[in-house]
Amino acid sequence: MDTATARPWDGLIVNAHLATLAGDSGYGTVEDGALGWQDGRIVFAGPRAELPGAGETLAVEVVDARGRWITPGLVDCHTHLVFGGDRAGEFEQRLQGVSYEEIARAGGGIVSTVHATRAAGEDGLLAQSLPRARALLAEGATTVEIKSGYGLELDGERRMLKVARRIGDETGLQVRTTFLGAHALPPEYAGRADAYIDAVCAWLPQLHGEGLVDAVDAFCERIGFDGAQTRRVFEAARALGLPVKLHADQLSDGDGAALVAEFGGLSADHVEHTSAAGVQAMARAGTVAVLLPGAFHVLRETKLPPLDEFRTQGVPMAVATDCNPGTSPLQSLRLAMSLACTHFRLTPEEALRGATVNGALALGLADRGRLQPGLRADFVLWDIGQPAELAYWLGGNPAVSVWIGGHRISH
């Protein structure tokens, strides 16, 4: 506050340690820090000693954090959390030795969730999906990306995207929607993949016109769509000025990372099989690598993403849940961070950066992901003694309170 007549801040937390993530590396730790906010934005994030006045008179509400930690709100930049039914039966099949690809080729996998999702009405889909969004929120997620891709017909895709928007309204979460019409070939288009891509490209302007699409994704894979088909979806997105991202090189190297980079894409996701040339293309384009260790874990994969190449080429790495009923029934971004450390040997700091700053980058959002004046007041108060604990504990929930846009969200 500059003058005695200035309006008090809406809120101020004192006696907190901050992990601001403000610089390019490190936690950006501020011991004995304070965080102030007004009108949904951070106005102060720094040492308590540098507050411009006495704490009690600076803000309408003052919270004593009692030495606990504050981080930016977590950003889950890749989920499929709107879907009907579950695939526990398929989980059992895979444990008997049947592969994800074999199940998909036999008409199960994504297509079985398409049947369950089409059968659920909009309200039913919302009721099934809300608990998953609430689980993410309860553990500190403040921004969540949600994809379509289990409707695979215009009405079904629209319903999923509407439910995603409604989840934002119901929970207070910041929701970003992604149109994933090119997720799998629906049975009614068997043998006619190109015709299906024509339909997907025709639906996109309609759904975008209804305000339902923030970005566009595809599944570029042997059991998904090929490079030429993916390119057509990306061209339709580009014609509308929509950003693109891609399920790239998950089960095989299909040059997906280079393709999405060619379109200046926000992110290439999974990327286990991405080649050195793909990493270089991503580095040139500023495309983020979204690591999805939940799918790696559940599918018992062994091929690691090219992590050292991402580091040496300066490709930012994000970490997300990929919450979906097939490859990653994971409803905890903190557990995704833990899996990223254990399976991919990320440091706990890289994992936190991946679920905050770099997750925001993967969504093209420059207004969040760090604790810095001017950014959104999305943050979490944690009952931990050091930030590495966020990726360390398996289970439990150290989140004490979550604020989104300066509003404390009860859960």
CB 100 to Fe ion: min, Å? 12
Residues 65-94 that bind ligand NIG (CB under 6 A): 80
292 closest CA partner among 276, 280, 275, 274: 274
Minimal CB distance residue for Fe ion: 322
Which residue, 265 or 325, is less far from ligand NIG as judged by CB? 325
Residues 248-287 that bind ligand NIG (CB under 6 A): 250
Which residue, 172 or 294, is less far from Fe ion as judged by CB? 294
Residue from the set 322, 349, 350, 378 that interacts with Fe ion by CB under 5 A: 322
CB 363 to Fe ion: min, Å? 14
The strands making up 317-319's β-sheet, listed across from edge to edge, are: 74-76, 141-147, 174-182, 215-220, 245-248, 267-270, 288-291, 317-319
When CB distances are held under 5 to 8 angstroms depending on the partner's kind, the choice from Fe ion, ligand NIG, none that residue 369 binds is none
Q: With CB under 6 A as the contact rule, which of the stretches 44-52, 199-207, 317-325, 377-385 interacts with ligand NIG?
A: 317-325
Q: Which long-range contacts (CB under 8 A, 24 or more apart) does 260-264 make?
A: 260/234, 260/287, 261/285, 261/287, 263/234, 263/237, 263/238
Q: With CB under 6 A as the contact rule, which of the stretches 138-146, 312-320, 322-330, 348-356 interacts with ligand NIG?
A: 322-330
CB 285 to ligand NIG: min, Å? 21
Residue from the set 34, 43, 82, 110 that interacts with ligand NIG by CB under 6 A: 110
- Could you list the residues known to form a binding site for N-formimidoyl-L-glutamate, using ranges: 150, 324, 326
Record the tokens describing residue 236, joined without a space: 């339709």
Residue from the set 113, 148, 229, 274 that interacts with ligand NIG by CB under 6 A: 113
Which residue, 105 or 311, is less far from ligand NIG as judged by CB? 105
Per-residue mark of binding to ligand NIG, 325-354 (x: CB under 6 A): xxxx--------------------------
Residue from the set 117, 324, 331, 332 that interacts with ligand NIG by CB under 6 A: 324
- Positions touching ligand NIG (CB under 6 A) are 80, 109-110, 113, 219, 247, 250, 295, 322, 324-328
